[in-house]
């Protein structure tokens, strides 16, 4: 019995394995944050003079587009509860908060002839609240909530969007730029354009596959560049901030080490990330050559008179090149591309489509743990490979990881999320310390559960759980919130760290059944363990 107790205490003792000289810490300059987006958290969809956006429109006119038929009319109600959000940021100890501004809250019609006083007040309050608590505001101008009035004109497929996006950005810089020094223009071109203008997944569900998506991407890139130049020329001299774009990419893991498989992965990366990044971050500018050739050739075969991929003028190529102060990166998962070109696989994509232009099928490696969502499998080393790919492809630009996170069905004990965070941050740490990738910040998606677009409220990405059934949208920290807090406090990753019972219990004990269940589990496992040991020795 004594031996078993001894063994048990060794087994459970939280010794600190990361002490000593070889401690791997995040560099001093490295910043940590958490991310959200206006439409996913604010609610208050029609208070005061807020205008309708494309997600209001989609969810109100076609609830069947959303897995649980829900909408973001109230969501986390952060419009009213932003002070509670700020409390949570302080609890976590983050350096910055990445939130987004709702275009149609600030400009109800989408146009800058009318600025909402209520919208101004809300974002001023939020920004002032953050600053008063020593949290750096990091504002995204566009996180998918286009004013419906602009969609009525074609949205991102109408080149005139460049002017209207510039007008909106100018109002934002004039109103908030004295206090907001970190800006992102646009969040994720592939999601906006592929899911919104090629498929019936995201608003506005314009199904113009292989044409509308490329056109949208083209105008989004030009809009970004216009706003970067606006800031650079007009606002930076006095406001002295920085502004970049956030791109989305999987890592395309080669199927094997063979030359052919590496070439497939490389071409896949150009279609995924190169499409968005090459015009801005490469030294030659413009779209990647493989993308231009593939879309041109297929367009000709298909009888079009010119490429479905729009063409940048020489002036535009110059205008875009270098037009970002950093590369914002959203990353969640890896894929493997395969040059099988199976007809059944391809038949799920319309003709024409970006997928057919690429011509590969894709799958998740059998070793990558699946998640509850079909688009997402866990491969933390992929993040390190991706960061290295960016470093080599674009001469080591500054990278800010603007999103990375994990989804569950809920519950406060989120060990899978904890592992995901630890392992992905480990990957980032290695990319910085071993490979000298210029990564300067990491922002976790998300501060709290929120409106997960066409998945509604089914999937939870939050460090904080939100009770969407409660009147005041009660937020409670998950176990991962304590782990993230500890990483930020120590600036290192300790995969053995678990929050002490008292930390965790304090916030959750009263209100949550799951913590009780967890205690019961730990208790019964301990008893079984002790009994086993007792019989063994
Ligand atoms: C981020 O995009 C978004 O910026 C953020 O708003 C969102 O909450 C977060 O992801 C979590 O999903 O494309 O049909 O497979 C990351 C890209 C968006 C890719 C959701 C997968 C699922 C629908 N992901 N998407 S589909």
- Taking 70 as the pLDDT cut, the residues of the chain under it are 1-22, 501-502, 504-522
CA 128 to chain CA centroid, Å, is 24
Q: What is the pLDDT of residue 339?
A: 93
pTM of model > 0.95: no
Q: What is the pLDDT of residue 510?
A: 47
Q: What is the pLDDT of residue 371?
A: 98
Tell me how far the alpha carbon of residue 331 lies from the centroid of ligand 1, in angstroms. Answer: 10
Q: What is the pLDDT of residue 76?
A: 99
Q: Whose CA is nearest to atom 7 of ligand 1?
A: 452
- Residues facing residue 183 across a β-bridge: 139, 243
Q: Is the CB of 195 under 6 A from ligand 1?
A: yes
Q: Whose CA is nearest to atom 23 of ligand 1?
A: 375
Atom index in ligand 1 nearest the CA of residue 188 equals 4
Q: Whose CA is nearest to atom 12 of ligand 1?
A: 452
Domain regions of the chain by residue span: 1-18+496-537, 19-495
260 is catalytic: no
398 is catalytic: no
What values do phi and psi take at 535, rounded to 5?
Answer: -75, -30
Separation CA 92–CA 208 (nearest Å): 43
245: CB partners within 8 A, 6+ apart = 184, 185, 186, 224, 228, 276, 280, 324, 327, 328
Q: 531: exposed, middle or buried (C-beta count within 10 Å: 0-12, 13-18, 19+)?
A: exposed
Are 379 and 251 in contact, with CB atoms under 8 Å apart?
yes
What values do phi and psi take at 310, rounded to 5?
Answer: -60, 155
Of the candidates 42, 129, 253, 403, the residue annotated as catalytic is: 403
Separation CA 211–CA 231 (nearest Å): 30
Q: What is the pLDDT of residue 529?
A: 82
Q: What is the per-residue DSSP string for 224-292?
A: HHHHHHHIIIIIHHHH--EEEEEEE--EEE-SSSSHHHHHHHHHHHIIIIIHHHHHHHSSS-SS-HHHH
Q: What is the pLDDT of residue 343?
A: 82
Tell me how far the alpha carbon of residue 383 lies from the centroid of ligand 1, in angstroms. Answer: 16
Q: Domain 19-495 has what CATH class? A: alpha beta
| Tens of pLDDT, residues 279-301 | 999 999 999 999 999 999 999 99
Nearest-CA neighbor of 428 among 66, 44, 32? 32
The number of beta carbons lying within 10 Å of the beta carbon of residue 13 is 8
Separation CA 100–CA 438 (nearest Å): 25
| Residue of 362, 453, 466 best suited for mutating to test ligand 1, as the one with most atoms within 8 Å of CB | 453
Q: What is the pLDDT of residue 20?
A: 45
Q: Whose CA is nearest to atom 18 of ligand 1?
A: 191
Separation CA 172–CA 180 (nearest Å): 10
Q: Is the CB of 537 under 6 A from ligand 1?
A: no
Query: CA neighbours within 13 Å on the CB side: how many for 70?
Result: 20
| Residue of 184, 353, 386, 403 best suited for mutating to test ligand 1, as the one with most atoms within 8 Å of CB | 403
Q: Is the CB of 330 under 6 A from ligand 1?
A: yes
């Amino acid at each position: 019995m004594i031996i078993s107790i001894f063994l048990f205490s060794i087994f459970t003792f939280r010794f600190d394995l990361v002490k000593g000289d070889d401690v791997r810490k995040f560099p001093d300059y490295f910043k940590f944050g958490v991310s959200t987006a206006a439409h996913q958290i604010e609610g208050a969809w029609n208070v005061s003079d807020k205008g309708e956006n494309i997600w209001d429109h989609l969810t109100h006119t076609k609830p069947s587009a959303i897995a649980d038929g829900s909408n973001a009319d109230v969501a986390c109600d952060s419009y009213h509860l932003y002070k509670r959000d700020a409390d949570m940021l302080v609890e976590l100890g983050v350096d910055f908060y990445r939130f987004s501004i709702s275009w149609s809250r600030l400009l109800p019609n989408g146009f800058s002839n009318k600025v909402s006083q209520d919208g101004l007040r809300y974002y001023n309050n939020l920004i002032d609240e953050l600053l008063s608590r020593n949290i750096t505001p990091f504002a995204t101008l566009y996180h998918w909530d286009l004013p419906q009035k602009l969609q009525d004109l074609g949205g991102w497929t109408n080149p005139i969007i460049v002017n209207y996006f510039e007008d909106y950005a100018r109002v934002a810089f004039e109103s908030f730029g004295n206090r907001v020094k970190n800006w992102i223009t646009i969040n994720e071109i592939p999601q906006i354009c592929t899911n919104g203008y090629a498929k019936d997944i995201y608003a506005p569900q314009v199904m113009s596959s292989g044409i509308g998506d490329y056109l949208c991407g083209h105008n989004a890139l030009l809009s970004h560049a216009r706003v970067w130049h606006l800031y650079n020329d007009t606002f930076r001299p006095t406001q002295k901030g920085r502004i970049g774009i956030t791109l989305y990419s999987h890592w395309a893991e080669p199927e094997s080490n063979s030359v052919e498989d590496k070439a497939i992965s490389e071409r896949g990366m150009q279609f995924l990330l190169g499409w968005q990044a090459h015009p801005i971050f490469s030294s030659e500018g413009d779209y990647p050559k493989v993308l231009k050739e593939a879309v041109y050739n297929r367009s000709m075969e298909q009888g079009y008179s010119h490429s479905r991929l729009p063409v940048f003028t020489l002036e535009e190529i110059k205008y875009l090149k270098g037009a970002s102060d950093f590369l914002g990166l959203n990353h969640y998962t890896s894929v493997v591309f395969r040059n099988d070109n199976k007809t059944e696989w391809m038949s799920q994509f319309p003709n024409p489509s970006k997928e057919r232009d690429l011509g590969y099928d894709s799958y998740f490696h059998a070793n990558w743990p699946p998640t509850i969502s079909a688009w997402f499998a866990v491969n933390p080393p992929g993040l390190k490979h991706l960061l290295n790919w960016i470093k080599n492809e674009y001469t080591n630009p500054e990278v800010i990881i603007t999103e990375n996170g994990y989804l569950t069905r809920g519950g406060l004990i989120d060990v899978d999320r904890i592992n995901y965070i630890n392992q992905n941050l480990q990957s980032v740490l290695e990319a910085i310390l071993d490979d000298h990738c210029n990564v300067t910040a990491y922002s976790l998606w998300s501060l709290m559960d929120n409106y997960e677009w066409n998945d509604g409220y089914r999937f939870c990405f939050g460090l904080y759980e939100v009770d969407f059934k409660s009147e005041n949208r009660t937020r409670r920290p998950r176990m991962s919130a304590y782990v993230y807090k500890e990483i930020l406090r120590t600036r290192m990753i300790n995969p053995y760290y678990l929050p002490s019972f008292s930390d965790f219990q304090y916030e959750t004990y009263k209100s949550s059944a799951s913590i009780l269940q967890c205690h019961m589990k730990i208790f019964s496992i301990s008893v079984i363990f002790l009994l086993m040991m007792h019989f063994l020795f």
